[in-house]
Structure 1
Amino acid sequence: MKLTGSDIHLLSVFDSVVRNDGFSAAQIELGISQPTISNHITALEERLGVKLCQRGRRGFMLTEKGRMVHEIGQALLDGLNTHSAHLAELRGNLVGQLKIAMVDAITTDPGCKLPEAIRSFTQAAPAVRIDLSISNPQDIMAGLLDGSYHIGFGSFDNLVSGLHLTDLYVEPHALYCADTHPFFARKDVDITDAEIEDTPWVHRGYWSQQRMKSYAASDEDRIVRQIESQLMMVLSGGYLGLLPEHLAASFEVDGRLRRMACETFNFGCPMQLIRRSGAVPKVIERFWQTLQACYP
């Protein structure tokens, strides 16, 4: 079939529905009513001759063919956005959308220069729309490869091929317990490394083994996918956890967290900037350079 402008519009509506997991949330992003969205999806199904999704009382669910159509549509829309950016560059304008994804819990990090970079970039390219999202490193890398994101900010273990990465600074991490943990009231000299190893920990699931305990994890250890979730588990008093020092600082002041004296388990987490390998549109390259310039 030969794609038309109407087909591309219908695919973009379908993409919004899938990303928002249903019609209700998609209508906010698209600015159109649910009945209109439903009509668009029906029109796309009739155009393609396939059932894209199940919708009704049981909620929204993609069919297998619907999942395939969405993947094709994403690739098409991403390609159009990239080529549109290149065409705009021919006129010497920085326009379009810049999709940045960052890890969570970094707003308290004095080493994070994203606000300064965004301010500088916005002054130089006011026509560019910045879309800032929070995700975990694995999903950021996947999003960079499929076009969901243009630039990622965080720490990336197990780098996959097709991505380019540069180091920015080091984020210090230390081991903490909460005020309700049995270790909190004990003297440092009375707590052995063996006891620390034997007590339950909470880890981030996206960390490589080097950032977790070097010994075998116990059945009592827990895995989370966000830093905020890890902090919550540590504050529960049931677990030790390696947390960014800047995030734990205010809780230390309030007496809710204690930094463990043992330095064996602490480490410096390299914070990095990541994007697709190869040539990229000028908008992406410009922001990349702007953020790097914040780290002389």
Structure 2
Amino acid sequence: MSTPIGTTPVTDFDLRLLRVFKTIVEEGGLKAAQSALGVSLPTISKQLSDLEARFGARLCQRGPRQFELTPQGEIIYKAAAELFSGIEQFQREADQVRGGQRGELRVGIIDNTISDPNCPLVAALQSLQGADLHLRLAVLDPDTVQQRVVEGRLDIGLVPLYRKWPGLEYRTLYAERMYLYCGRMHPLFARDSEPDERELATHAFVEHGYVDGRELEGFAAPAKTGATAWQVEAVAILLMTGRFLGYLPQHYAAPFERQGKLRRLLAATSGYQSSVAAVFKAGAQQSRPVRRLLSALHDACSADHGARPATEPVRGGVTTGGAPQP
């Protein structure tokens, strides 16, 4: 019988099992973790059983269509995530002490920021070209970016500032303008006159999965939700079906407007301003690459007249540019 962890020192074997368990949780189950781990399902199942034997507790409920952590599993996963985040941080700092060795910077961003002239990321990364850094850049939905920063899987992220997560620090960089749109196949597209808010309420909207709908009260009439999306491009695809109305960043929608694929509705009253912020772990000592990127982002915003950090008060992450705050 295995000796429980806690009564003996943690071994390299224990660390390997904990990494397997962490991957299983983050991939959403044993079967889903096969590709990430590169081993067979029976091997993963045995490794998980070995870890449970070491702890003397069941860490998760698993079945063909179910994977759920037990209370003990929740505790072990959180501790393992913090452990490996600390190990990675130590390795990065040790590399810098040794000097001459390449550091790593892991950045997560939301999709379709490349079309926003206000976004300072390209200029900031360009200013780091003299640093010996290996960059890892991932395009993800806002909730996933923040979750991975919490877990230590990303060093820094750029996200729209709708709500703040516990344990994270936010540094506002710039703002993007959001407007209400419909696609060419929608019945409102060919209308000569603008619809009123009562009429808008009869049409289905695309809900942004990471936004509390109450944050948009005052910008458009309450309406029924017909679809949910977590990326800008997903919203645009749904709008182009002609079945929905929804909000998009102006910079992203502009080319589709020129092509006659989207129409902006109630431009004078339905827009709102969304702040975009750099997000990183609160209270943690930031590595040198993270500090350099934060400084470069700030400098890029300050140098670009079109990319100044938003200075309007933020409530719920939404600035309105003159409309009443929700």
Q: TM-score range by the shorter chain?
A: 0.7 to 0.9
| Correspondence for 2:237 among 232, 236, 242 | 232
Q: Distance in 2 between matches of 1:68 and 1:221?
A: 37
Offset, 1:242? 1.7
Count matched residues.
292
Q: Which runs of 5+ in 1 are unaligned?
A: none
Write the distance in 2 (CA, Å) between the matches of 1:29 and 1:221: 34
Matches within 5 A, 1:246-285: 246-278=251-283, 279-285=285-291
TM-score scaled by length of structure 1: 0.82
What CA distance in whole angstroms lies between the structure 2 residues aligned with 1:11 and 1:163? 25
Q: Does 1:201 align with 2:208?
A: no
Q: Distance in 2 between matches of 1:150 and 1:207?
A: 23
221 and 93 in structure 1: CA distance in 2 versus 1, 3 angstrom threshold = same
Matched with 1:130 is 136
Bigger shift: residues 92-101 or 74-83 = 92-101
Aligned-residue Cα RMSD (Å) equals 3.0
Which of the two has greater helix per residue? 1
One-letter identity of the residue aligned with 2:84 = L
Once residues 129 and 39 of structure 2 are traced to their aligned partners in structure 1, the CA distance between those partners, rounded to angstroms, is: 29
Distance 1:162 1:68 in 2: 17
- Quick one: percent identity of the two aligned structures? 28
Please list the CA deviations of residues 169-228 of structure 1 after superposition, one character each: whole Å capped at 9, or x if unmatched: 22222221111222211113x533443355433232433534354566234565443323
Q: How does 1:85-124 map to 2 (within 5 A)?
A: 85-92=92-99, 95=102, 97-121=104-128, 123-124=130-131
Distance 1:158 1:282 in 2: 27
Q: In the TM superposition, what is the alpha-carbon distance from 1:10 to its structure 2 partner?
A: 1.6
What SS does structure 1 have at the residue aligned with 2:44? Answer: helix
In 2, Cα distance between equivalents of 1:202 and 1:213: 17
CA contact (8 A) 1:171 1:271 kept: yes
Aligned: 1:52 with 2:59 = yes
Contact conserved, 2:60 with 2:73, CA < 8 A, in 1?
yes
What is aligned with 2:88? 81
Query: 1:71 is matched by which residue type in structure 2?
Result: K
Measured in 2, the distance between the counterparts of 1:200 and 1:37 equals 44
Structure 1 counterpart of 2:210, one-letter code: Y
> How far apart, in 1, do the equivalents of 2:39 and 2:256 lie?
44
| Maintained 8 Å contact 1:97/1:131 | no
CA distance in 2, matches of 1:95, 1:38: 36
Contact 1:21 1:60 (8 Å CA) reproduced? no
